[in-house]
Amino acid sequence: TAWPAMKRNPLPQRRPKVQKRKADKAAKITQKNPTPPCAAIPKMKSLKNKISESIASYTARTGTAPQRPGAVLFDMDGVLYNSMPFHARSWNLLFSEIGIDMPEQEVYLHEGRTGASTVTAIFERELHRQPTEDEILRLYRRKTELFAGMGAVKVMTGARETVNICRRAGATTVIVTGSGQGTLLDRLDSDFDCAFPAPSQRITAYDVTHGKPDPEPYLKGIAKAGTSPWQSVGIDNAPLGVESSSRAGLFTIGVNTGPLPSGTLKAAGADLELDSMEECAEALGILLL
Ligand code: CA
């Protein structure tokens, strides 16, 4: 898969050599073992096909061919950190304490909204009224308490590799998160080797007027990176986040790291839907290196 801009911004031609080495290796394996050599080769091929299709879909959707990305914009919860199971469980526990059933899976559909907006949506649906400001404050404080009690959040498997590939390719890495929680933002520098310095490469809850699914957070992210939408990739795991990136005009990768049914992120506007950050690292390796 070549970005149409490869001509405009040529990179050292490393890929043909890699492909040749791979082809030589595959040929050797085939000689030794006439049965199908390994499952990874068809899988790689199908990922390349998916990427080609997604570039075509982006071009059809925006009327502009994507160029080789100068920036990659990352959502935080559920992309860089495996924090969503804790968020889902703490929202579910919180509402069960006041007699409301909010299935954990539903939390992923609200992901990207502010806490106040989530409480309001559930109150309107279940209690047919708006929450008071005091209720919002009290419930969100309790939710934060439940979340903090669940232990240390781990870096998502494959996230460091994905970030490192972007850096090796010379792409600017930017965080675009609706979160304002210090617990994870404070860890970014040590967990990701200063790939997201504050404030030059971060958009958080405090930087935007309209949160996801509005395009504002991703538009502000590309402004920080100094690139254009068609020269940028957005990576998000939630339908509202994917919608935000897609509406901002970025080539959008939806990574379904949670329990959403397959196809949900494509339906929300993702050009490419992947199943894990490990697969995302593989895809960015193909796109950028
Ligand atoms: Ca997220």
C-alpha 237 to ligand 1 mean position (Å): 5
The number of beta carbons lying within 10 Å of the beta carbon of residue 207 is 16
C-alpha 169 to ligand 1 mean position (Å): 24
Residue 272 φ then ψ, to 5° = -135, 125
Ion ligand 1: residue ranges with CB closer than 5 A? 75, 77-78, 237-238
C-alpha 73 to ligand 1 mean position (Å): 12
d(CA 263, CA 256): 9
d(CA 128, CA 227): 44
Return the pLDDT at 39.
58
Sequential pLDDT tens for the chain (289 residues): 446 543 344 444 444 454 555 556 555 554 554 545 555 666 777 999 999 999 999 999 999 999 999 999 999 999 999 999 999 999 999 999 999 999 998 999 889 877 888 899 999 999 999 999 999 999 989 998 998 899 999 999 999 999 999 999 999 999 999 887 778 899 999 999 999 999 999 999 889 989 899 999 999 999 999 999 999 999 999 999 999 999 999 999 999 999 999 999 999 999 999 999 999 999 999 999 8
C-alpha 275 to ligand 1 mean position (Å): 14
Burial label for 243, CB within 10 Å (0-12, 13-18, 19+), is buried
Return the pLDDT at 22.
53
Return the pLDDT at 273.
98
C-alpha 272 to ligand 1 mean position (Å): 16
Query: Which residues partner with 74 through β-bridges?
Result: 175, 235
Q: Please give the angle made by the CA atoms of 248, 3 and 72, to the nearest 5 degrees.
A: 45
Burial label for 57, CB within 10 Å (0-12, 13-18, 19+), is middle
Return the pLDDT at 25.
56
